[in-house]
Amino acid sequence: MKNKTIALIVSVFLFIMLGVLVYLNFFYILDVQELYMEMKVSDHVGLNINSSAIYFGKVTKGTTAERRVNFTNNYKFPVKVEINTGGNISEFVSVSENQFIIYPGEEKNIIYYAKPHEDTPMVTYTGITRVVYKRALFS
C-alpha cells in the first residue's frame, strides 16, 4: 500500500511538472513587437525605402514585392518567434518562415511578401505584423 501511494505521488508530481513545461513552452511570452505595414496597389511600381516600418511601396497587380526583416536573439537561451499579420493588407502578405527557433546570438532573415491579386482594387492597404517572442523550452 505504501509503494502505491509513493508511486501515485510521484506520478502526480511528474504530471504537474509536464503541464508546467508545456504551459511555459506555449504561453510564456518574453516580448511582443508590432510593425506597421503598407502597400499601394498601382499601375506602376514605386519604392519606399523607409525602414521604420514594412513599406512595400507601389505594387502592380499580380506581382510580388519583398521586404527583408532581420530577427536577432539577444537572450541567453533559445527563443521561439511567431509572426502574425492583421489589417486589410494581411490577405496579401505572407512570410518566408514562421514559428521558428533562434538560438542565442543567432540572426534570422525573414522575407515578407506582398502579392496583390489581379482583381485587387488600386488603393492603399495597411495593417500590422505582430511578432511574438517566447522562451523555447523544446527546440
Q: Any idea where the domains of the chain sit in the sequence? A: 30-135
On whether the CB atoms of residues 40 and 95 are closer than 8 A, the answer is no
- Between vectors from CA 69 to CA 66 and to CA 72, what angle results, nearest 5°? 160
Predicted pLDDT at 47: 64
99 contacts: CB under 8 Å, gap ≥ 6: 80, 81, 82, 83
Predicted pLDDT at 9: 74
Neighbours of 35 (CB within 10 A): 16
- For 91-134, write each residue's pLDDT tens digit: 999 999 999 999 999 999 999 999 999 999 999 999 999 999 99
CA distance 38 to 55: 5
C-alpha cell at 20: 508546467
Domain 30-135: top CATH class: mainly beta
